[in-house]
C-alpha cells in the first residue's frame, strides 16, 4: 500500500491543526508513522485518500453500528436537512428519540440530549452532586469518561488516595474531589467509602473500552450495588461506548448494575455529535428548567442529529444484529488465538458483544494494571501489518475494536488472512529490535 497523499495532507494539516488532527488518538503516535486520511466509506469499508480500501473495525469508535451510509439513515438525514440545520428551539424529533431511548432503557424516565459523551458525563456528575448534596466522585483507574477536568486524572500510588491531574492545565483544585479505585477490586472501593463520607457518586463503564475490553466480574457488580445502596451513593453508568452495542438498550442491565444515572452517546447519534444523560424522574427533575441544576447547550437536540439518531435506533431495533455480533466476535477471537498459538505468541483476547480487543500478554486482563502488561511494541508491528492487509483497527493497544452489522463472511476471511500475516510478522522479530513502523 502507498500512503503518499495521506503523508501530504498530514504535512499540510500540521500548519493550522494541532498535530494535523482534532483528536489525539488519530495522530498514530502510539503506533508510529503518519495518520491515514479517509475520503469516504460505505457499508463495512472505508477508503483513504490514496484509494486504499479497508474493512473498518473502528467504526468511528462505535457510532457506526449499522455500517457506513445506511440507506434508511441517509434518507432520514436528507429529509431533515431540507427543513433547516438548527433552530435554537424544540422539535418533534427530540421527543421521538427521547421516547425510544427511555422505552429501551428501564432505568431512564427522562433524558437530556447534549452534544458529546464528555458533555453528558460532566453534566451527570453535576446532577449527582445536586441531588445528593455531596461533593466527591469515585472513578476507576483505566476508565475514560471524557476530557473534563474533574475526570482527567491518574491514580496515585495507592488505591485509597486523592487523584492527581492527568494533564497539563488541570489544576489540583479541579480534581480534589475525584477519588480513584481499581476496576474489579471492591476492596479499593470500600476503603475509599470508609475514608470519605461525602461521596455523591461512583462512575464507571459497565464494560471498560479504553483500557481494552474489560468486563466486570459478577461479585464486583453485586457488591458495588450493595455499597452504593447502603451509603446513599448514586451509581453513574457511562454507556457512551457500550449503549446499544450488546443489546437494544443498556449493557448495565445485562450485567446487573443498579444504575441511577446513565450517560449515552455514539450509537444514539448514528454518526452525528450526540450525547445524553438520563435517570428516574426524581433525579432528572433537579435539572433546569424543572430544578436548580443548570445545564444548557446551543446545539443540544440538533434536528439533524436527532433525525440520524432516531433512524439509526429504529433500524437497529428492527435488524437486531446482536446474535451476529456475538458469533462474529467469537470467530475473530479464534482467528487471533489460533494464529498466536501457531506462532508461539503470548496473546489474551477480551470481548463482549460487538467489542473485542487483543493484548500481547499471557496475563488475564481484568483491570488497567493487567492491561498495561501488554507488549505495545508488538502491537505496533501487528497494527501496521493489519493496515497493509486491508483491515483498519484502532491505532492504540487500549482502544476497543467495534463490529458493524455490515460485516460479511467475505470480510471475515480477509480479517483472518490479515491476522495470520500480522501475528506471523510479530513472531519474526524480537521485541527489542522492533522499530517504529
pLDDT for 156 equals: 28
Instruction: Give the position of cell 497493509.
Output: 388
For the residues 83-92, what does the mean pLDDT come to? Answer: 96
Q: What percentage of the chain carries pLDDT values higher than 90? A: 87
Res 431 pLDDT > 80: no
pLDDT for position 150 = 84
CB 73 within 8 A of CB 318: no
In the predicted structure, residue 411 carries a pLDDT above the cut 70: yes
Q: Which residues pair with 181 in a beta bridge?
A: 140
Q: Which residues of 120-155 are buried (b: 16+ CB within 10 A; e: fewer)?
A: bbbbbbbbbbbbbebebbbbbbbbbbbbebbbbbeb
Among 191, 175, 338, 205, CA closest to 166: 175
Q: Any idea where the domains of the chain sit in the sequence? A: 4-65+321-433, 71-319
Q: What is the CATH number of domain 71-319?
A: 3.40.640.10
pLDDT on residue 148? 87
Q: What is the CATH number of domain 4-65+321-433?
A: 3.90.1150.10
Residue 173 pLDDT:
82
Q: Is the peptide bond before 417 cis (omega within 30 degrees of 0)?
A: no
Cα 56 to chain centroid, rounded:
16
Q: What cell does 311 get? A: 433512524
State how far the alpha carbon of 318 is from the alpha carbons of 158, 321, 435, in Å: 48, 9, 47
Percentage of the chain exceeding pLDDT 70: 95
- Identify the CA nearest to 403 among candidates 298, 303, 339, 331: 331
| Mean pLDDT, rounded, for 362-390 | 95
pTM equals 0.93
Whether the CA torsion 258, 264, 267, 269 is positive or negative: it is positive
The model's pLDDT over 43-52, given as tens digits with 9 standing for 90+, comes to 999 999 999 9
**Of 1 and 93, more confident:** 93
With a cut of 50, say whether residue 31 has pLDDT above it. yes
- Position 201 scores a pLDDT of 98
Q: Can you give the pLDDT at residue 161? A: 33
Q: What is the pLDDT averaged over residues 275-292?
A: 97
What does residue 105 show for φ and ψ, rounded to 5 degrees? Answer: -125, 110
Residues carrying an active site annotation: 144, 238, 266
pLDDT number for residue 167:
73
Kindly tell me if the per-residue pLDDT of 115 is higher than 60: yes
Using alpha carbons only, what angle is made at residue 312 by residues 310 and 318, rounded to the nearest 5 degrees? 105
Confirm if 114 and 240 have CB atoms less than 8 A apart.
no
Residue 118 to residue 185: CA distance in whole angstroms: 25
pLDDT at 147: 87
74 sits in which H/E element = helix 71-83
Confidence of residue 165 (pLDDT cuts 50, 70, 90): low
Cell, residue 64? 457506526
> Across all residues in the chain, what is the average pLDDT?
93
Contact 262, 204 (CB under 8 A): no
Q: How far is residue 373 CA from its own chain's centroid?
A: 21
pLDDT classification of 432: cutoffs 50, 70, 90: very low
CA distance 316 to 406: 12
Distance CA 46, CA 131 (A): 44
Give the integer Cα–Cα distance in Å for 170 and 16.
24
Helix (H) or strand (E) holding 153: strand 153-154
Question: Would you state the pLDDT for residue 166?
Answer: 64
Amino acid at each position: 500500500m502507498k500512503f503518499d497523499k495521506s503523508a501530504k495532507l498530514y504535512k499540510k494539516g500540521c500548519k493550522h491543526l494541532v498535530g494535523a488532527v482534532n483528536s489525539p488518538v488519530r495522530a498514530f503516535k502510539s503506533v508510529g508513522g503518519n495518520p491515514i486520511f479517509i475520503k469516504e466509506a460505505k457499508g463495512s469499508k472505508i477508503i483513504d485518500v490514496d484509494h486504499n480500501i479497508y474493512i473498518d473495525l473502528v467504526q468511528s469508535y462505535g457510532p457506526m453500528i449499522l455500517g457506513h451510509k445506511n440507506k434508511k439513515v441517509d434518507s432520514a438525514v436528507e429529509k431533515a436537512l431540507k427543513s433547516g440545520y438548527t433552530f435554537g428551539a424544540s422539535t418533534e424529533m427530540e421527543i421521538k428519540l427521547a421516547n425510544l431511548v427511555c422505552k429501551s432503557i428501564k432505568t431512564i424516565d427522562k433524558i437530556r440530549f447534549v452534544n458529546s459523551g464528555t458533555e453528558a458525563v460532566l453534566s451527570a456528575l453535576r446532577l449527582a452532586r445536586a441531588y445528593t448534596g455531596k461533593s466527591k466522585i469515585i472513578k476507576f483507574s483505566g476508565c475514560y469518561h471524557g476530557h473534563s477536568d474533574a475526570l482527567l486524572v491518574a491514580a496515585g500510588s495507592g488505591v485509597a488516595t486523592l487523584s492527581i491531574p492527568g494533564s497539563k492545565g488541570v489544576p489540583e483544585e479541579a480534581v480534589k474531589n475525584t477519588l480513584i479505585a481499581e476496576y474489579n477490586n471492591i476492596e479499593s472501593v470500600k476503603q475509599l467509602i470508609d475514608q470519605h463520607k461525602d461521596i455523591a457518586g461512583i462512575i464507571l463503564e459497565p464494560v471498560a473500552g479504553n483500557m481494552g475490553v474489560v468486563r466486570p466480574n459478577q461479585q464486583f457488580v453485586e457488591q458495588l450495588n450493595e455499597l452504593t445502596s447502603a451509603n446513599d451513593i448514586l451509581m453513574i453508568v457511562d454507556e457512551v461506548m457500550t449503549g446499544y452495542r450488546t443489546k437494544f438498550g443498556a449493557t448495565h442491565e445485562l450485567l446487573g448494575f443498579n444504575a441511577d444515572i446513565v450517560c449515552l452517546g455514539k450509537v444514539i447519534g448514528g454518526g452525528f455529535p450526540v450525547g445524553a444523560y438520563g435517570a428516574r424522574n426524581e433525579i432528572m427533575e433537579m435539572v433546569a428548567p424543572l430544578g436548580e441544576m443548570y445545564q444548557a447547550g446551543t446545539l443540544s437536540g440538533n434536528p439533524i442529529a436527532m433525525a440520524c439518531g432516531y433512524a439509526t435506533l429504529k433500524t437497529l431495533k428492527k435488524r437486531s444484529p446482536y446474535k451476529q455480533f456475538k458469533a462474529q466476535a467469537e470467530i475473530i477471537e479464534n482467528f487471533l488465538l489460533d494464529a498466536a498459538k501457531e506462532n508461539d505468541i503470548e496473546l489474551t483476547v477480551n470481548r463482549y458483544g460487538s467489542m473485542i480487543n487483543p493484548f500481547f500478554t499471557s496475563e488475564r486482563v481484568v483491570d488497567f494494571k493487567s492491561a498495561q502488561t501488554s507488549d505495545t511494541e508488538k502491537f505496533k508491528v501487528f497494527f501496521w501489518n493489519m493496515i497493509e492487509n486491508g483491515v483498519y483497527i484502532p491505532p492504540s493497544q487500549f482502544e476497543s475494536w467495534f463490529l458493524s452489522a455490515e460485516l460479511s463472511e467475505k470480510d471475515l476471511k480477509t480479517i483472518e488472512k490479515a491476522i495470520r500475516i500480522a501475528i506471523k510478522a510479530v513472531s519474526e522479530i524480537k521485541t527489542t529490535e522492533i522499530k517504529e513502523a
